[in-house]
Amino acid sequence: METGPRPASWKILLAFGIIYFVWGSTFLAIRIGVREVPPFLLAGMRFFVSGVILYGWMRLNGAPSPTGRQWAGATLLGTLIFLVDYGCLFWAEQRVPSGIAAVVLATIPVFITLLEIIFLRTQRLTVRLGFALLLGLCGVAVLTGQSFSFGEVPINRAGALALIVASFTWSVATILTRRLPLPESKPTSAAAQMITGGIQLFVLAALSGEFVGFHWHAVSRNAWLALVYLIVFGSIAGFTAYVWLLHYESPTKVGTYAYVNPMVAVAVGYFFGGEAIGRRTLLGAVLILISVITIVTSPKRARQADKQAALSIAEAE
């Protein structure tokens, strides 16, 4: 955190409001967009345009261009985060309500902790963490399992699997972020990842036939507005607010967006997207949120809070 003069309270609150409510609302915006625009094409447009704008802005303000090795690191993360993770998310939201998608993606800290315990040996399995991990996995089972419908329409299996893959892939990317050569400027790093990821999404869209039979003029104004919202507010304004907050607040405090966003997404989906909130959704959300809060606020994790890892989770919401 920065030791200089602290900004006015309203600026801090505004930045938190952006990462809480804007990022939480992006899930419904994605669902609106994929109703009319093929998912990989929509994701490619969002991140490529966001990346180019952010990269150009950083270069105009004197940020150095990434080296070849840094571009390679950014490309690998672009593959994991944008091609696989966001590709799965956009594809899944054709089949799964936006609120449930947000809640399942909130399990990212659960998968990160599992990787740290099993493979990296950087985290010790304690009773507290074991309880949190069990709750998180139970929450995923409630939301995605066919046996826990509680009267709700069963969730689409393919969409549920895609969301789990997305959460796991982002967790792997978070771990790798700490070890890859990346630009020192976090906005420049994020921009490079979005540009390379966006290009890969365009290639995937072409290979999967999304351009065939797609007519740009048939896309409604609401879908275009959803894309603009994702680019301007979800990616550019949201990430700028996040990076700015990290200069004045602890990563742990800023990281509270991880369990606020799903609640916002569920509420936005209910009030503005006509998505139902039943007992299954509520139970799964509560289990996952308790799990995430327990993991994020654990003493060991708080002391080892790493800005770089946090950024890899948040840089493209």
Domain map (residue ranges) of the chain: 9-314
The whole-angstrom separation of Cα 77 and Cα 287 is: 29
Q: Which amino acid is at 67?
A: T
What pLDDT is attached to residue 300? Answer: 56
What pLDDT is attached to residue 125? Answer: 86
Q: In the chain, which residues have pLDDT < 50?
A: 301-309, 312-313
**Closest Cα to residue 78, out of 272, 276, 312, 251?**
312
What lies within 8 Å, CB to CB, of 255 at 6+ separation is 296, 305, 310
What pLDDT is attached to residue 292? Answer: 87
What pLDDT is attached to residue 311? Answer: 52
Extract the tokens encoding 126: 């304690």
What pLDDT is attached to residue 258? Answer: 79
Residue indicated by tokens 């916002």: 264
The whole-angstrom separation of Cα 297 and Cα 289 is: 12
How does 69-87 read in b/e, with b if 16+ C-beta sit within 10 Å? Answer: ebbebbbbbbbbbbbbbbb
Query: Cα-atom radius of gyration of the chain, to the nearest Å?
Result: 19
Widest pairwise Cα distance in the chain: 57
Please, are residues 172 and 115 in contact by the beta-carbon 8 Å criterion? yes
Distance from chain centroid for Cα 184: 21
What pLDDT is attached to residue 153? Answer: 76
